[in-house]
Chain A
Amino acid sequence: MIGNFFDQFWSLTFGGLSLGFIYILIALGYTLVYGVLRMINFANSEIFMIGTFATVIVVRDLYKFTQSSEYATGFRLWLILGTALLITMIVSGLLSMVVELVAYRRLRRRNSGVLAPLISAIGVSMVLAESVRIMTDSRPVASPRAMEKSFIGKFFDADIRLDNTIIVIAALLLFFALWNFINRTRLGKAIRAVSMNPSAAKLMGIDIDKIVSATFLIGGVMTGAAGFFYVLKYENTASSIGFELGIAAFTAAILGGIGNIKGAFFGGLALGLLETYASFFLGTQWKAVTVFILLVMVLYTRPNGLFGESITQTRV
């Protein structure tokens, strides 16, 4: 078993890395909204699910790919991947803004605590998941393969797959774009201000509603990108997928310390790798249990997550 593990270590690691980057992007959706509103955006998982469907629709219907089409190559391939990613990000981002309008805005204005928005977000995610479930007859939807999953090199005997490489590089770029956006731009500064102290930010002339809307948009865009990468890697989706990955990504956000962008990065990475290794040793059915025990252990020793904010006062 151990010997096998070392033989497969690098190929497991590459798979785990790309899964980890998918988690990072979804976790960013949770963490950004949490940072600004101190609320769990329960509907984020369904934004991800809609994102995966947006990608499938672009590849299947816009570019007329079927299960038997030939792989796209060269410029055409990058064009297809680029438009699919862009459209998915736009769709998810806009949807995320709509979710904020419908589920949060009115309640936020009325200052009605944490639980009421949580329930209305649960309502919204039920509506999203159920409409897709009805439209797809509860069946998983396969995405036609537009890209050949060729091996682009070897690393310690492990094949480096093209799709995994694209995911890691593109997700890294997105992450650094977000990092710079939050830390360097005026809007990013406003988001940080609202997250530190909403009332002071308001007094400084920041339009809170606009900032919250922008945060949901950015969170949705990141989550949508995760949807695109998921389809690229696994080539299928289903209406129930949001829930499964949403929980894992949320765990990742907590693991790193929710409300903290750096935390989402390391939490997502750690979770992706650990899940992959745990599945190898114990079988995929126990991976959720391993992750959970790990989470409890981390939180028990570091109650704010690995990189958590030190605002110990915040609670439900």
Chain B
Amino acid sequence: MINIRDKGAEVWENSGRTGRIAIATLAFAVVASLPFMGGTILNTPIASYESVLVYPIAMFVLMAIGLNIVIGKSGLLDLGYVAFFAIGAYTMGLLGTKTGLNTWEILPIGIAMSMFAGLVLGVPALKLRGDYLAIITLGFGEIVRIVALNLGALGRSEGIIGIPTPPPVFGIEFSFDSHRVYYWTLLIMILLAIWMVRRLSARRAGRAWESIRQDEDVAELLGVPTFRYKIWAFVLGASVGGAAGVIYASKTLFIAPDNFTLQISILILACVVFGGMGNIWGVILGAVVLGYLPDRIRFLSEARLLVFGLVLVLMMNLRPDGLLPRKKREKAIKAKEAA
């Protein structure tokens, strides 16, 4: 099979400054105009195409980028990522309905809340071995949902209704059915997240994560404060999830514990692995495919999750490194180790 990632990287490397700007602008224009392509083959039967673009696709992409910091970059298996999404959404729901704050004012609070939750969970959990971390995070995801389900202040199973939409920005109105505006908002957040991850990856933090992922003991011996950087990865991942949650709540205007099941965590994890762990473009591609596919094949109605499961199995067996895997060099090192 041809390696799309290497081909893409080659084209990018070989084009000059103007070429790169042209490619980036073109790509951005295509992605930004996706909401207008509803009439084409991309259309999703049954569900509205534009709303599918917002949730799940754009939302999954944002969350997958966040989870990729935790799993792909630093190799920590987090199975409860939905918790941070839920915390962001409930922060928005509570503050939006109880106080006069608007979405843009709540956004930093929601991010701070989920980062705080990440810290509280991370400090005990990140001292543990990987598999235990997996179950602790998985449990945490469920606990957040159960607490929301049983706490009167959070509306129990009815959830929170009447969450306000964001106030207009530069005269652009956000209303319940203006899917495009939400899509573009998320697009900007995704770009910010990509920028953040890319900047961090190129610096000390990125190198520290990389070393932790490859061999934590060696990293520690070489003087990398592994625990601190693991916490950082966890908290940054949580912040992206929280941001996605805030936007989600002010888009759907109604949240209930049923929106935050373990299935979401699993799906986001699947996006990361399916697309190609550690490679941000792969992760984005994975999230687009896995967010889009269940709605595209909705004509299978009942059987669509079944088919989705089959796709996961087949895909993992045929391309275990994902659609756009990490660099070849690393794979070569891995092969050498295995031999």
Contacts and interface: CB of A to CB of B under 8 A. Distances in A.
Interface of A: 34, 40, 102-103, 106-107, 110-120, 122-127, 130-131, 134, 243, 247, 250-251, 254, 258, 285-286, 288-289, 292, 295-296, 299-300, 303-304, 312-316
A156 to B, nearest CB: 33
B132 A40 contact: no
B277 A130 contact: no
A292 B306 contact: no
B72 to A, nearest CB: 10
B130 A123 contact: no
Interface string B101-128: 0000000000000000000000011011
A292 B139 contact: yes
A127 B310 contact: yes
10 contacts: A107-B316, A119-B274, A119-B316, A134-B306, A250-B135, A258-B131, A289-B146, A299-B128, A299-B136, A316-B77
B338 interface: yes
B264 interface: no
Interface residues of B, number: 50
Contacts of A40: 131, 134
Nearest to B123: A300
B307 to A, nearest CB: 9
B308 A126 contact: yes
Interface in B307-339: 308-313, 316-317, 320-321, 334, 338
Q: Which DSSP category, helix, strand, loop or mixed, fits chain A's interface?
A: helix
Given A115-B277, A119-B269, A288-B142, A124 B313 contact: yes
B139 A123 contact: no
B323 to A, nearest CB: 13
B306 A127 contact: yes
A115 B262 CA distance: 17
Contacts, number: 129
Contacts of B131: 34, 40, 254, 258, 314-316
Given A107-B317, A120-B317, A254-B135, A127 B309 contact: yes
Nearest to B125: A296
Contact of B124 (A119, A120, A300, A304): A300
A127 B262 CA distance: 17
A112 B321 contact: yes
B270 interface: yes
A316 B309 contact: no
Interface in B258-315: 262, 266, 269-270, 273-274, 277, 302-303, 305-306, 308-313
Given A112-B321, A247-B138, 10 more contacts: A103-B313, A113-B320, A122-B312, A127-B313, A292-B142, A299-B128, A299-B136, A313-B217, A314-B130, A314-B131
A120 B77 CA distance: 16
Contacts of B306: 126-127, 130-131, 134
A50 to B, nearest CB: 15
Q: Select the residue from A34, A117, A247, A292 with max chain B CB neighbours within 10 A.
A: A292
A295 B135 contact: yes
Contacts of A286: 146, 150
Given A251-B135, A254-B135, A314-B129, A285 B146 contact: yes
Interface string B82-101: 00000000000000000000
A48 to B, nearest CB: 17
Contacts of A134: 302-303, 306
A134 to B, nearest CB: 5
B30 interface: no
Contacts of A314: 129-131
Given A285-B149, A300-B124, A315-B129, A292 B140 contact: yes
B147 interface: yes
B146 A288 contact: yes
Contacts of A117: 316
A113 to B, nearest CB: 8
